[in-house]
Structures are given as structure tokens and as C-alpha cells.
Amino acid sequence: MTMQPLPIRTTNLCKTFDDPKRGVVHAVRDLNLECKEGEIFGLLGPNGAGKTTTLRMLSTILAPTSGEAEVGGVRVSDDPLEVRRRLGFLSGTTGLYPRLTAREILEYFGRLHGLDEAHLQARVEELLDTFTIRPFADGRCESLSTGQRQRVSIARAVLHDPPVLILDEPTTGLDILAASDMIDFIQSRKEAGTCVLFSTHILSEAERLCDRIGVIDQGRLLAVGSLEELRVQTGKEWLEDVFRALVEQAGSEAPADIPPAN
């Protein structure tokens, strides 16, 4: 019996940046992470903790300085194109082309993912209905509301039905209804067996959605486990207190010679 590769795995993943003012900045340090099929994994941390950098390395936007990141058993450094085929990525910085329509964007990504024309059209029509995009599908994206854009972005991310979905602070900037739609969408992907890795600094989101939570601060993964396991580990009841306890504990142990990540 062969072992199924994990949807997401990182091994001693590191990323450093050269900053003209601050020198070498360690954004991510020796990060080891594993996400399973059908799991919602939340990466929880304050701003500048290294969440976005980690997700960008997994999605091949950034190259790791050292260590490895794998998606579905494929190393990002070996075959980034195959990794991009296997995941859907969504963040606040993955905007929509303002002068194209929603339909054109979906067709464009579909063609680049190699969907044949007949299959592509059927898939686009399906997504237009699934995410209620049809009423504004042929208008330019620059004229869409934030909520409408978010729906088009989600459709773009899942167009090729990826087994892995990576979402970077997916509810940031959304109004209550759009954020609620996003949370429903993440839950629906779990039911479809997709592995979802998402970052957030909103504790209630993590508490509500995640099977497991990884707490990250200053580029280091401080703890991983279910909410219950983290409660036991820290002896705290509320996630805010759990998070604070882990960060304080790590702060007292952290080496002083490494500049923090931005």
C-alpha cells in the first residue's frame, strides 16, 4: 500500500529578505507544517508574523531561501508549474483585471490551466451559477462591488477544481455579508474533501472554522493543534488567551540576535 502524499507539507522552510534599512530580515524561520486532505488549517498570527510569506512560498510566488515546501508531494522548487496547477490561491493582493469581464477572466485562467474549450465553457457556466455571478458576468470588473469581486475571485481560484486551497486573510476588507459568504464557502470546500490552508488574525474565524490551528509569530511556528489541544497546552480557555500565552512563552525563549520579520 502506497502512502498518499500530504496536500501541504513544509520542512524547515525559511525566507529572508535583504532590506536596505534593516539588513537581513528573517520573515519565516524553520517552519514545519503538515495539512491533511479535507482539513481546514488556520495559520493564526499578528500582522508581520510571516503568514503571508509562508503562503506566498507555498503558492510559488516567492522562492524559499532554504527548506522545502510541497503541495501534493510536488516540491515548489522542483516543479512550480505543477504546484500552481494543484492549488487555488486567493489573497487581498490577487486582484481582478479591471478591464476584463468576470467571464473573460474565468476563460483566461481556464485556458491557461489547459481546459479544452467545451469543458471550459461548461465549467464557466457552472461557476457563474454556483457563485451567483451571472447577473454581472459580462460587465467589466472595475465596475463591480467588493462583494461581487470577491465572488469572482473565488470562482477564479477554484476554476480548475484544485485539491488544495490557500487563502490569505480571505475576509479582510469584506463587509459582514461578504465575509459570511466566504466562511460558508470555506466550509463547503471541506465537505468537498479539499485541503484548505488559510491565514487570519481574526480569532473568531479560526475558532469557528479550523480543524487545527498553527500559531505563528516572528516567522516561527509556536504551536500546532486543535483548539482543544492548544487549550490543554496553555491551560487557557479562550483563544485570545491561548494565543497570548503562546506568544509570551515564545518571546521569553526567542534568541535576541535575529531581527524580527516585518
Partner 1 sequence: MPTTRTLSPLLGALEVARKELTESLRDRATVIYAFVLPICMYPVLFWAILQGVMVVEGLQDRTETTLGIAAAGVPAEKHDTATEGLTHALSPPSEDPDEAAASSLKLIWAPESMDMEQAREWLAEDSEEDTEDAPDRPDAVLFLDPLTILHLSTDSTSNLASERARSRLAAHASALRLEAADRAGLEAADLDPISVSTVDLAGRGAKGAVVLASLLPLLLVVMAVMGSFFPAVDLTAGEKERGTAETTLLVPLARSSIITGKVLAVGALAMSATALSLFALSLSAEHLLSGLPVEVDISISIPTIAVIGAIPLAFFFSLFVSAALTACASLAATFKEGQALLGPVQMVFILPAMVGIIPGIQLTYPMALIPVINVVLAFRAMLMGQPLYGQYCVTALALAFYAWLALRLALHLLSRESVLLAGKTLPLSRLLKILRGTASTR
Residues in contact with partner 1 by the rule CB under 8 A: 18, 56, 59-63, 65, 80-82, 84-85, 89, 91-100, 104, 108-109, 111-116, 119, 123, 140, 156, 160-163
Distance CA 54, CA 30 (A): 11
Q: At what angle do helices 239-253 and 227-234 cross, to 10 degrees?
A: 60
* Eight-state DSSP code of residue 5: P
> How far apart are CB 116 and partner 1 at their closest, in Å?
7
Rounded Cα distance between 196 and 256, Å, is 34
Pairing of strands 66-71, 8-19: antiparallel
Ramachandran area for residue 204 (φ above 0: left; ψ -120 to 50: alpha; else beta): alpha
Least CB distance to partner 1 at residue 217 (A): 22
Residue with cell 488567551: 241
Look up cell 512550480; give the residue: 80
**Amino acid symbol at 188:** S
Q: How far is the CB of 73 from partner 1 (least distance, A)?
A: 15
CA distances from 112 to 81, 120, 135 (A): 11, 11, 25
We find the least distance from the C-beta atom of residue 123 to partner 1, in angstroms, to be 6
Least distance in angstroms from the C-beta of 177 to partner 1: 22
